[in-house]
Protein backbone atom coordinates (compact mmCIF):
# COMPACT_ATOMS: atom_id res chain seq x y z
CA UNK A 1 0.00 0.00 0.00
CA UNK A 2 1.63 3.24 -1.18
CA UNK A 3 0.85 6.88 -0.60
CA UNK A 4 1.88 10.08 -2.35
CA UNK A 5 1.42 13.82 -1.99
CA UNK A 6 -1.36 13.58 -4.57
CA UNK A 7 -3.28 11.44 -2.05
CA UNK A 8 -2.91 14.17 0.57
CA UNK A 9 -4.15 16.80 -1.87
CA UNK A 10 -7.14 14.60 -2.71
CA UNK A 11 -7.84 14.13 1.00
CA UNK A 12 -7.65 17.89 1.47
CA UNK A 13 -10.38 18.38 -1.12
CA UNK A 14 -12.57 15.68 0.47
CA UNK A 15 -12.23 17.29 3.89
CA UNK A 16 -13.57 20.65 2.77
CA UNK A 17 -16.56 21.44 4.99
CA UNK A 18 -16.09 18.20 6.97
CA UNK A 19 -13.46 19.24 9.53
CA UNK A 20 -12.22 22.45 11.13
CA UNK A 21 -9.43 24.27 9.30
CA UNK A 22 -7.63 24.93 12.56
CA UNK A 23 -5.61 28.10 13.20
CA UNK A 24 -1.82 28.13 12.83
CA UNK A 25 -0.61 31.05 14.92
CA UNK A 26 2.66 32.54 16.11
CA UNK A 27 3.10 32.53 19.89
CA UNK A 28 4.86 35.69 21.05
CA UNK A 29 5.40 34.52 24.61
CA UNK A 30 6.42 30.91 23.89
CA UNK A 31 8.82 32.21 21.26
CA UNK A 32 10.45 34.44 23.86
CA UNK A 33 10.67 31.55 26.36
CA UNK A 34 12.11 29.06 23.88
CA UNK A 35 14.46 31.27 21.90
CA UNK A 36 12.83 30.05 18.68
CA UNK A 37 10.03 31.55 16.60
CA UNK A 38 7.15 29.19 17.36
CA UNK A 39 3.95 28.69 15.39
CA UNK A 40 1.23 26.47 16.89
CA UNK A 41 -1.19 24.35 14.89
CA UNK A 42 -4.22 24.08 17.15
CA UNK A 43 -5.62 20.67 16.20
CA UNK A 44 -7.17 20.56 19.68
CA UNK A 45 -9.83 22.85 18.18
CA UNK A 46 -11.27 20.13 15.95
CA UNK A 47 -14.81 19.09 16.85
CA UNK A 48 -13.50 16.05 18.76
CA UNK A 49 -10.42 18.02 19.92
CA UNK A 50 -7.92 16.02 17.88
CA UNK A 51 -6.32 15.75 14.43
CA UNK A 52 -7.78 12.24 14.22
CA UNK A 53 -10.96 13.72 12.73
CA UNK A 54 -9.10 14.07 9.43
CA UNK A 55 -7.97 10.51 8.77
CA UNK A 56 -11.17 9.03 10.16
CA UNK A 57 -13.29 10.93 7.65
CA UNK A 58 -11.11 10.01 4.69
CA UNK A 59 -11.25 6.32 5.60
CA UNK A 60 -15.02 6.24 6.13
CA UNK A 61 -15.72 8.28 3.01
CA UNK A 62 -14.15 5.53 0.88
CA UNK A 63 -16.21 2.63 2.30
CA UNK A 64 -18.59 0.91 -0.09
CA UNK A 65 -22.27 0.57 0.72
CA UNK A 66 -21.98 -2.99 2.07
CA UNK A 67 -19.20 -1.94 4.45
CA UNK A 68 -21.24 1.03 5.65
CA UNK A 69 -24.24 -1.16 6.36
CA UNK A 70 -22.18 -3.73 8.30
CA UNK A 71 -20.36 -1.10 10.37
CA UNK A 72 -16.81 -0.37 11.46
CA UNK A 73 -14.63 -1.20 14.44
CA UNK A 74 -11.65 0.79 15.73
CA UNK A 75 -8.92 0.37 18.32
CA UNK A 76 -7.98 3.56 20.13
CA UNK A 77 -6.89 5.23 23.35
CA UNK A 78 -9.54 7.83 22.70
CA UNK A 79 -8.86 10.36 19.95
CA UNK A 80 -9.11 7.99 16.98
CA UNK A 81 -12.19 6.55 18.66
CA UNK A 82 -13.90 9.91 18.77
CA UNK A 83 -12.94 10.76 15.20
CA UNK A 84 -14.35 7.46 13.92
CA UNK A 85 -17.48 7.70 16.10
CA UNK A 86 -18.14 11.31 15.07
CA UNK A 87 -17.96 10.77 11.34
CA UNK A 88 -19.62 7.33 11.50
CA UNK A 89 -22.62 8.89 13.22
CA UNK A 90 -22.82 11.63 10.58
CA UNK A 91 -22.72 9.01 7.81
CA UNK A 92 -25.10 6.59 9.49
CA UNK A 93 -22.43 3.89 9.92
CA UNK A 94 -22.58 1.69 13.09
CA UNK A 95 -19.31 2.02 15.06
CA UNK A 96 -17.70 -0.18 17.72
CA UNK A 97 -14.70 1.18 19.61
CA UNK A 98 -12.20 -0.90 21.62
CA UNK A 99 -10.21 1.08 24.19
CA UNK A 100 -7.58 0.21 26.82
CA UNK A 101 -9.06 -0.28 30.29
CA UNK A 102 -7.15 2.74 31.64
CA UNK A 103 -8.55 5.16 29.04
CA UNK A 104 -9.63 8.42 30.74
CA UNK A 105 -13.35 8.45 31.53
CA UNK A 106 -13.79 11.63 29.51
CA UNK A 107 -12.70 9.87 26.31
CA UNK A 108 -14.94 6.86 26.97
CA UNK A 109 -17.94 9.11 27.58
CA UNK A 110 -17.19 11.15 24.49
CA UNK A 111 -17.16 8.09 22.20
CA UNK A 112 -20.39 6.83 23.74
CA UNK A 113 -22.00 10.26 23.39
CA UNK A 114 -21.21 10.12 19.67
CA UNK A 115 -23.17 6.89 19.38
CA UNK A 116 -20.41 4.27 19.38
CA UNK A 117 -20.45 1.01 21.33
CA UNK A 118 -17.37 1.11 23.59
CA UNK A 119 -15.56 -2.03 24.77
CA UNK A 120 -12.66 -1.82 27.24
CA UNK A 121 -9.90 -4.42 26.74
CA UNK A 122 -6.28 -4.66 27.95
CA UNK A 123 -3.83 -2.18 29.44
CA UNK A 124 -2.58 -0.73 26.14
CA UNK A 125 -3.75 -0.37 22.55
CA UNK A 126 -1.63 -3.32 21.48
CA UNK A 127 -3.31 -5.70 23.93
CA UNK A 128 -6.70 -5.17 22.28
CA UNK A 129 -5.55 -6.16 18.79
CA UNK A 130 -6.36 -9.88 18.98
CA UNK A 131 -9.85 -9.19 20.31
CA UNK A 132 -10.63 -6.55 17.72
CA UNK A 133 -9.68 -8.74 14.77
CA UNK A 134 -11.75 -11.63 16.13
CA UNK A 135 -14.74 -9.31 16.59
CA UNK A 136 -14.34 -7.82 13.11
CA UNK A 137 -14.20 -11.24 11.46
CA UNK A 138 -17.13 -12.64 13.44
CA UNK A 139 -19.45 -9.69 12.69
CA UNK A 140 -18.20 -8.63 9.27
CA UNK A 141 -16.99 -5.26 10.54
CA UNK A 142 -14.41 -3.12 8.74
CA UNK A 143 -11.37 -2.41 10.92
CA UNK A 144 -10.35 1.26 10.82
CA UNK A 145 -6.67 1.22 11.77
CA UNK A 146 -5.58 4.23 13.86
CA UNK A 147 -2.44 4.92 11.83
CA UNK A 148 -1.21 2.13 9.54
CA UNK A 149 -3.35 2.81 6.49
CA UNK A 150 -2.77 5.00 3.43
CA UNK A 151 -6.15 6.71 3.77
CA UNK A 152 -5.45 7.57 7.40
CA UNK A 153 -1.97 8.88 6.57
CA UNK A 154 -3.35 11.00 3.72
CA UNK A 155 -5.96 12.55 5.98
CA UNK A 156 -3.45 13.34 8.73
CA UNK A 157 -1.03 14.74 6.15
CA UNK A 158 -3.43 17.61 5.51
CA UNK A 159 -2.25 19.06 8.84
CA UNK A 160 1.21 19.64 7.33
CA UNK A 161 -0.28 20.90 4.09
CA UNK A 162 -2.24 23.57 5.96
CA UNK A 163 0.77 24.55 8.07
CA UNK A 164 3.13 25.06 5.15
CA UNK A 165 0.56 26.85 3.02
CA UNK A 166 -0.11 29.26 5.88
CA UNK A 167 3.55 29.85 6.85
CA UNK A 168 5.92 28.83 4.02
CA UNK A 169 9.59 28.19 4.59
CA UNK A 170 9.57 26.96 8.17
CA UNK A 171 12.87 25.51 9.36
CA UNK A 172 11.28 22.72 11.40
CA UNK A 173 7.99 20.94 11.89
CA UNK A 174 7.84 19.19 15.27
CA UNK A 175 5.25 16.45 15.48
CA UNK A 176 4.16 14.00 18.22
CA UNK A 177 4.59 10.35 17.23
CA UNK A 178 2.53 7.35 18.24
CA UNK A 179 2.16 4.81 15.44
CA UNK A 180 3.42 7.32 12.90
CA UNK A 181 0.35 8.21 10.83
CA UNK A 182 0.47 11.92 11.59
CA UNK A 183 4.20 12.43 11.13
CA UNK A 184 4.33 10.29 7.99
CA UNK A 185 1.60 12.36 6.36
CA UNK A 186 3.10 15.67 7.46
CA UNK A 187 6.57 14.62 6.25
CA UNK A 188 5.15 13.72 2.82
CA UNK A 189 3.49 17.12 2.60
CA UNK A 190 6.68 18.87 3.70
CA UNK A 191 8.80 17.07 1.10
CA UNK A 192 6.46 18.25 -1.65
CA UNK A 193 5.78 21.80 -0.48
CA UNK A 194 8.97 22.77 1.37
CA UNK A 195 11.87 20.32 0.93
CA UNK A 196 14.17 22.48 3.06
CA UNK A 197 11.86 22.12 6.07
CA UNK A 198 13.09 19.45 8.46
CA UNK A 199 10.58 17.23 10.24
CA UNK A 200 11.28 16.15 13.84
CA UNK A 201 9.24 13.58 15.72
CA UNK A 202 8.61 13.46 19.46
CA UNK A 203 7.90 10.42 21.62
CA UNK A 204 7.47 9.85 25.33
CA UNK A 205 10.53 8.26 26.94
CA UNK A 206 8.40 5.34 28.11
CA UNK A 207 7.12 4.60 24.59
CA UNK A 208 9.99 5.24 22.12
CA UNK A 209 8.61 2.79 19.57
CA UNK A 210 9.57 4.73 16.42
CA UNK A 211 12.86 5.95 17.91
CA UNK A 212 13.89 2.38 18.77
CA UNK A 213 12.59 0.83 15.55
CA UNK A 214 14.71 3.22 13.48
CA UNK A 215 17.76 2.11 15.46
CA UNK A 216 16.98 -1.61 15.50
CA UNK A 217 16.29 -1.64 19.23
CA UNK A 218 13.58 -3.54 21.06
CA UNK A 219 10.95 -1.26 22.63
CA UNK A 220 10.79 -1.03 26.44
CA UNK A 221 7.73 -2.35 28.27
CA UNK A 222 6.14 1.08 28.67
CA UNK A 223 4.22 2.21 31.75
CA UNK A 224 2.00 5.01 33.02
CA UNK A 225 2.21 8.20 30.98
CA UNK A 226 0.40 11.49 30.64
CA UNK A 227 0.68 11.02 26.86
CA UNK A 228 -1.57 8.00 26.39
CA UNK A 229 -2.39 9.21 22.88
CA UNK A 230 1.16 8.33 21.73
CA UNK A 231 1.67 5.33 24.03
CA UNK A 232 2.15 2.92 21.12
CA UNK A 233 4.48 -0.05 21.45
CA UNK A 234 5.34 -0.49 17.76
CA UNK A 235 5.08 1.70 14.66
CA UNK A 236 3.15 0.78 11.55
CA UNK A 237 4.48 -1.28 8.65
CA UNK A 238 3.45 1.54 6.31
CA UNK A 239 4.57 4.45 8.47
CA UNK A 240 8.00 3.20 9.57
CA UNK A 241 9.62 3.29 6.09
CA UNK A 242 8.14 6.74 5.45
CA UNK A 243 9.52 8.07 8.72
CA UNK A 244 12.91 6.47 8.04
CA UNK A 245 13.07 8.21 4.66
CA UNK A 246 11.56 11.60 5.43
CA UNK A 247 12.00 12.42 9.14
CA UNK A 248 15.29 13.87 10.37
CA UNK A 249 15.15 12.69 13.97
CA UNK A 250 12.96 11.44 16.82
CA UNK A 251 13.39 13.22 20.15
CA UNK A 252 12.33 11.73 23.49
CA UNK A 253 10.69 13.79 26.24
CA UNK A 254 10.00 12.81 29.83
CA UNK A 255 6.80 13.14 31.80
CA UNK A 256 7.83 16.34 33.58
CA UNK A 257 8.54 18.06 30.27
CA UNK A 258 5.12 17.13 28.88
CA UNK A 259 3.44 18.29 32.10
CA UNK A 260 5.22 21.61 31.71
CA UNK A 261 4.01 21.80 28.12
CA UNK A 262 0.40 21.25 29.18
CA UNK A 263 0.77 23.92 31.85
CA UNK A 264 2.35 26.52 29.54
CA UNK A 265 -0.23 26.01 26.83
CA UNK A 266 -3.00 26.49 29.39
CA UNK A 267 -1.47 29.52 31.08
CA UNK A 268 0.01 31.30 28.07
CA UNK A 269 -2.07 30.25 25.08
CA UNK A 270 -5.27 29.69 27.09
CA UNK A 271 -5.71 26.35 25.34
CA UNK A 272 -6.20 22.85 26.73
CA UNK A 273 -3.76 20.23 25.47
CA UNK A 274 -3.42 16.59 26.43
CA UNK A 275 0.02 15.16 27.16
CA UNK A 276 0.59 14.05 23.56
CA UNK A 277 -0.65 17.43 22.35
CA UNK A 278 2.01 19.18 24.45
CA UNK A 279 4.84 16.83 23.41
CA UNK A 280 6.08 19.02 20.54
CA UNK A 281 6.39 22.06 22.80
CA UNK A 282 8.07 19.87 25.44
CA UNK A 283 10.67 18.79 22.87
CA UNK A 284 11.53 22.35 21.87
CA UNK A 285 11.90 23.40 25.50
CA UNK A 286 13.95 20.28 26.33
CA UNK A 287 16.33 20.77 23.37
CA UNK A 288 16.67 24.57 23.09
CA UNK A 289 20.01 24.41 21.27
CA UNK A 290 18.44 22.42 18.44
CA UNK A 291 15.81 25.05 17.65
CA UNK A 292 17.34 28.33 18.81
CA UNK A 293 16.71 31.15 16.37
CA UNK A 294 14.75 28.92 13.98
CA UNK A 295 11.18 29.18 12.70
CA UNK A 296 9.38 26.15 14.08
CA UNK A 297 5.88 24.79 13.56
CA UNK A 298 4.46 22.74 16.42
CA UNK A 299 1.43 20.46 16.22
CA UNK A 300 -0.85 20.69 19.27
CA UNK A 301 -2.34 17.37 18.26
CA UNK A 302 -5.16 17.03 20.80
CA UNK A 303 -6.89 18.44 23.85
CA UNK A 304 -8.68 15.45 25.35
CA UNK A 305 -7.20 15.41 28.82
CA UNK A 306 -9.11 14.20 31.86
CA UNK A 307 -10.24 17.19 33.98
CA UNK A 308 -8.81 15.73 37.18
CA UNK A 309 -5.46 15.08 35.51
CA UNK A 310 -5.39 18.59 34.09
CA UNK A 311 -6.06 20.03 37.55
CA UNK A 312 -3.20 17.98 39.00
CA UNK A 313 -0.82 19.06 36.24
CA UNK A 314 -1.62 22.72 36.81
CA UNK A 315 -1.18 22.46 40.58
CA UNK A 316 2.12 20.57 40.20
CA UNK A 317 3.23 23.29 37.83
CA UNK A 318 2.63 25.89 40.52
CA UNK A 319 4.83 23.85 42.86
CA UNK A 320 7.60 23.56 40.27
CA UNK A 321 7.56 27.29 39.66
CA UNK A 322 7.73 28.21 43.34
CA UNK A 323 4.20 29.62 43.27
CA UNK A 324 2.74 27.07 45.66
CA UNK A 325 4.88 25.91 48.60
CA UNK A 326 4.50 24.00 51.84
CA UNK A 327 6.47 25.14 54.87
CA UNK A 328 6.99 23.56 58.27
CA UNK A 329 7.26 26.22 60.97
CA UNK A 330 8.20 25.65 64.61
CA UNK A 331 6.21 27.94 66.93
CA UNK A 332 5.50 28.36 70.64
CA UNK A 333 2.49 26.24 71.65
CA UNK A 334 0.71 29.11 73.36
CA UNK A 335 -1.85 31.79 72.51
CA UNK A 336 -0.58 34.10 69.79
CA UNK A 337 2.02 31.69 68.37
CA UNK A 338 0.10 30.94 65.21
CA UNK A 339 -0.83 34.63 64.81
CA UNK A 340 2.83 35.67 64.88
CA UNK A 341 3.68 33.13 62.16
CA UNK A 342 0.80 34.18 59.91
CA UNK A 343 1.61 37.85 60.48
CA UNK A 344 5.23 37.29 59.38
CA UNK A 345 4.01 35.51 56.24
CA UNK A 346 1.54 38.30 55.51
CA UNK A 347 4.22 40.99 55.88
CA UNK A 348 6.32 39.15 53.32
CA UNK A 349 3.34 39.02 50.93
CA UNK A 350 2.58 35.28 51.10
CA UNK A 351 -1.02 34.08 50.86
CA UNK A 352 -1.90 31.15 53.13
CA UNK A 353 -4.25 28.57 51.61
CA UNK A 354 -4.01 25.81 54.23
CA UNK A 355 -2.75 25.35 57.81
CA UNK A 356 -2.26 22.12 59.80
CA UNK A 357 -1.04 21.72 63.39
CA UNK A 358 1.32 18.83 64.15
CA UNK A 359 1.45 18.45 67.94
CA UNK A 360 1.95 14.71 68.32
CA UNK A 361 3.59 13.41 65.17
CA UNK A 362 6.76 15.52 65.09
CA UNK A 363 9.91 15.28 67.22
CA UNK A 364 9.72 18.72 68.86
CA UNK A 365 9.88 19.83 72.52
CA UNK A 366 6.52 19.55 74.25
CA UNK A 367 6.09 23.31 74.62
CA UNK A 368 6.58 23.84 70.91
CA UNK A 369 4.49 22.72 67.99
CA UNK A 370 4.95 22.44 64.28
CA UNK A 371 2.54 23.90 61.80
CA UNK A 372 2.51 23.01 58.13
CA UNK A 373 1.44 25.88 55.93
CA UNK A 374 0.60 25.78 52.22
CA UNK A 375 0.87 29.21 50.67
CA UNK A 376 0.88 30.99 47.35
CA UNK A 377 3.98 32.94 46.38
CA UNK A 378 5.06 34.86 43.31
CA UNK A 379 8.20 32.88 42.44
CA UNK A 380 11.31 31.24 43.92
CA UNK A 381 12.77 34.56 45.06
CA UNK A 382 9.56 35.33 46.93
CA UNK A 383 9.72 31.96 48.72
CA UNK A 384 13.14 32.98 50.04
CA UNK A 385 11.74 36.27 51.28
CA UNK A 386 8.97 34.49 53.22
CA UNK A 387 11.48 32.15 54.86
CA UNK A 388 13.68 35.12 55.81
CA UNK A 389 10.69 36.91 57.35
CA UNK A 390 9.87 33.89 59.52
CA UNK A 391 13.50 33.56 60.64
CA UNK A 392 13.58 37.27 61.46
CA UNK A 393 10.48 36.78 63.63
CA UNK A 394 12.32 34.11 65.63
CA UNK A 395 10.73 31.02 64.06
CA UNK A 396 12.53 28.08 62.50
CA UNK A 397 11.03 27.23 59.08
CA UNK A 398 11.86 24.69 56.40
CA UNK A 399 10.45 24.09 52.95
CA UNK A 400 8.68 20.77 52.44
CA UNK A 401 7.37 20.99 48.87
CA UNK A 402 9.50 19.47 46.14
CA UNK A 403 10.51 21.39 43.04
CA UNK A 404 11.54 18.24 41.17
CA UNK A 405 8.15 16.52 40.75
Looking at the annotation, which residues are catalytic? Answer: 52, 301
Alpha helical stretches, state H, 114-204: 129-139, 150-166, 181-193
Quote the DSSP letter at residue 44.
G
CA dihedral 395, 400, 401, 405 (to 10 degrees): 150
Instruction: Enumerate long-range contacts of 380-383, CB under 8 Å, 24 or more apart.
Output: 380/321, 380/322, 381/322, 382/322, 382/348, 382/349, 382/350, 383/322, 383/325
> CA dist 17 to 45, 84, 157, 300, Å?
15, 17, 17, 21
The rounded distance, in Å, linking the Cα atoms of 111 and 372 is 44
What does DSSP say about strands 37-42 and 24-26: parallel, antiparallel, or unpaired? antiparallel
Burial class (CB in 10 A: 0-12, 13-18, 19+), 73: buried
Q: Over the range 155-191, which residues count as b (16 or more CB within 10 Å of their CB) and which as e?
A: bbbbbbbbbbeebeebbbbbbbbbbbbbbbbbbbbbb
Q: Residues 227, 200: contact at Cβ < 8 Å?
A: no
Q: Residues 199, 246: contact at Cβ < 8 Å?
A: yes
Q: Which of 145, 334, 372 is nearest to 236 (CA)?
A: 145
Q: Which of 3, 39, 9, 276 is nearest to 151 (CA)?
A: 3
> CA dist 190 to 12, 140, 284, Å?
15, 38, 19
**Rama region for 92: left / alpha / beta (φ>0; ψ in -120 to 50; rest):** left
Q: How many CB atoms lie within 10 A of CB 221?
A: 9
Chain centre to alpha carbon of residue 177: 11
Give the three-class secondary structure for 354. Answer: strand
The rounded distance, in Å, linking the Cα atoms of 236 and 147 is 7
Amino acid sequence: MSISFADIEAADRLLEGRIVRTPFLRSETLSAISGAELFLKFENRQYTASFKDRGAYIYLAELDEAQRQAGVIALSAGNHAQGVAYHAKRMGVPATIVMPEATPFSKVRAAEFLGAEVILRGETISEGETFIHERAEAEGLTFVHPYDDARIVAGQGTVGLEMLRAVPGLDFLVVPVGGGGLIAGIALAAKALSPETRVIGVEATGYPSMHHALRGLAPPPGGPTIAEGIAVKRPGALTLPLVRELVEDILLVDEAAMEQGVQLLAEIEKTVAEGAGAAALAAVLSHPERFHGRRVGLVVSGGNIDARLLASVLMRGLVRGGRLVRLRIEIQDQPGGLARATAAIARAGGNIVEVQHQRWFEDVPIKLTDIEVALETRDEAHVGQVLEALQAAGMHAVRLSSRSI
